């Protein structure tokens, strides 16, 4: 415990916790929509093509964080423009992802310096973020949350019942592209914690666990953010104490949360709802009689 308290006094630890806090909030909010809209494959593609963007920026000796953002944003636009319908989207994602990965390998091969930054993007490097990186992540997170808040109600409607939403004049296609861009920013941030290879940990698992806890979208978002915060900050603190990679603990905690939500809390909540519904029905029947 004394070791952890001492570590909290270092600037790199403070930067990691601040960055993790921002990233967890953004990931938790976006995760619920990703799960509800069945876009886990798109998350994987955005992450891998974000790596391509970061590798390209490293080759040009520019910020890899900006490269991540550029790569995910361009990918989001392509997916949205070419694969609006779910059936065609997965095909487009697979084709673009294969090309992008090859391009990323080429960029790393052409880079003459040490490829530490590229490998950090693959596996996550939250303890290596600078104060400038934290400021950039906060700015990206703020813009992402503002954009999501602006489209939250129509996006929720389009997610729950897209046919009815479209019939009532909701721009379902435009919202799909807008959410892809929001998701691109969230992916670019989450990669800082878990890396490209484990991106589903923060963009899928919190939302999947929250979905098992409540059917209400708003409350599910709150649960998702809480789970993301617990796993991210808990993973950072455990990493500091044990010197093991942050991503190992984040993924382990996330998986544990999902198992508890799916097999322990979720079933109990369903049993309680069924019992309550049965009692209410019996009471109404007795009153009618």
Question: Is residue 227 domain-resident?
Answer: no
Q: Is the pLDDT of residue 226 over 90?
A: yes
Question: Is residue 158 domain-resident?
Answer: yes
State the total domains in the chain: 1
Count helices and strands (H / E) in the chain: 14, 0
Instruction: Locate 37 and state its tokens.
Output: 């809209």
Q: Please name the residues in contact with 186: beta carbons below 8 A apart, sequence gap of 6 or more.
A: 26, 27, 30, 144, 203
**Maximum Cα interatomic distance, the chain, rounded to a whole number of Å:** 84
Question: Is residue 278 domain-resident?
Answer: no
| CATH code, 118 | 1.10.3470.10
Q: Is the pLDDT of residue 177 over 90?
A: no
Question: Is residue 121 domain-resident?
Answer: yes
Q: What pTM was computed for the model?
A: 0.81
CB 200 within 8 A of CB 43: yes
The pLDDT value given to residue 271: 58
Residue-range definition of the domain harbouring residue 111: 2-204
Question: Is residue 16 domain-resident?
Answer: yes
Question: Is residue 164 domain-resident?
Answer: yes
Question: Is residue 230 domain-resident?
Answer: no
The pLDDT value given to residue 281: 47
Instruction: Report the alpha-carbon distance of residue 46 to residue 177 in Å, rounded.
Output: 13
CB 196 within 8 A of CB 64: no
User: What's the chain's average pLDDT?
Assistant: 82
């Amino acid at each position: 415990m004394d070791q952890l308290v001492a570590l909290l006094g270092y600037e790199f630890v403070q930067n990691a916790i601040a960055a993790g806090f921002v990233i967890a909030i953004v990931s938790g909010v976006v995760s619920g929509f990703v799960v509800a809209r069945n876009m886990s494959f798109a998350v994987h593609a955005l992450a891998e093509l974000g790596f391509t963007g970061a590798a390209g920026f490293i080759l040009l000796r520019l910020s890899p964080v900006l490269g991540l953002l550029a790569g995910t944003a361009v990918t989001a636009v392509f997916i949205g423009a070419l694969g609006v319908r779910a059936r065609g989207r997965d095909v487009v994602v697979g084709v673009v992802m294969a090309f992008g990965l090859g391009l990323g390998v080429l960029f790393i091969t052409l880079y003459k310096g040490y490829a530490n930054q590229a490998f950090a993007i693959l596996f996550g490097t939250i303890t290596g973020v600078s104060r400038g990186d934290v400021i950039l992540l906060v700015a990206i997170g703020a813009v992402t949350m503002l954009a999501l808040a602006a489209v939250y109600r129509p996006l929720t409607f389009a997610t729950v019942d897209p046919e009815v939403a479209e019939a009532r004049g909701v721009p379902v296609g435009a919202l799909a592209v807008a959410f892809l861009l929001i998701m691109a920013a969230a992916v670019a941030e989450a990669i800082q914690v878990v890396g490209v290879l484990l991106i589903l940990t923060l963009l899928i698992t919190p939302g999947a666990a929250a979905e098992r806890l409540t059917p209400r979208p708003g409350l599910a978002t709150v649960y998702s953010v809480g789970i993301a915060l617990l796993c991210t900050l808990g993973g950072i603190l455990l990493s500091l104490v044990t010197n093991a990679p942050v991503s190992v603990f984040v993924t382990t905690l996330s998986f544990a949360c999902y198992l508890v939500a799916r097999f322990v809390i979720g079933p109990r909540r369903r049993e309680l709802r069924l019992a309550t519904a049965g009692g209410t029905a019996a009471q109404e029947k007795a009153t009618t009689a």
